[in-house]
Amino acid sequence: MQMQAEPTTPQGLALARPRVVLWIGIAIALTTQRLMVVTFLPTLEMFDGVNPDAWFAPWISDTVVGLLATQWIHPQQADGSNSTVIFGIIVLFLAIQSIVALSLFRTDVIRHFTQQEQSA
């Protein structure tokens, strides 16, 4: 089994992975916890649940702005959670997604990923 060589610069120096790439991966992993909304689908009115059917689209599409708008217009009927907690969670994930998106535009991150493509 051959090991793949570390990508190098034209001068032969190994490219170091910027630390921000690691943090981007961690932040994306944190936001994958949102996949648990699939378990909320049985709580919709169309399935004889307590939550308005308006929650179906934002839960399936996972749009943060849609979640905020739906929570404002049709508050979620969560067991043991109030609107403040739900808004807080939505805003937290909005902040994490914004940080990830902005981090992807950093020069060192762009250089890291473009160098990976060129060396392949």
Estimate to the nearest angstrom the gap between the alpha carbon of 82 and the chain centroid: 23
Query: Residue 12 above 80 pLDDT?
Result: no
Decide: pTM greater than 0.85: no
62: left (phi over 0), alpha (psi -120 to 50) or beta: left
| Residues 106, 112: Cα–Cα separation, whole Å | 10
Dump pLDDT digits (tens) for 84-116. Answer: 887 888 888 888 888 888 888 888 888 888 875
What pLDDT, on the 0 to 100 scale, is given for residue 9?
53
Backbone angles phi, psi at 14, to 5 degrees: -70, 140
